[in-house]
Structure 1
Amino acid sequence: MTPDAPAGRTIESRKDDTPTAAAQREELRKAIELKDYEFNAHGVELGQRYRSSAVIDDGTPEPPYERDHELYYHPTTWPGARIPHCWLTRGSDTVSTLDVVGKGRFTVLTGIGGDAWVKAAQSVSEQLGDATETLKQAVSSVLGR
Structure 2
Amino acid sequence: MPKGAKIDDDIGGNRVLDDETSDKMNGPGINGKKLMKFIKRYENVQSEIDDIMSNAQEACTPHREDQAEIVKEAAEAGFSKKEFKTILRKRRLEQKLEQVADSLDADQRETYEQFLHALGALDGTPLGQAAAGKHPEAAGAALN
**Same fold per superposition (TM over 0.5):** no
TM-score if structure 2 supplies the norm length?
Answer: 0.24
TM-score if structure 1 supplies the norm length?
Answer: 0.24
Greater strand content:
1
Greater relative CO (CA pairs within 8 A, separation 6+) = 1
Higher-Rg structure is 2
Greater helix content:
2
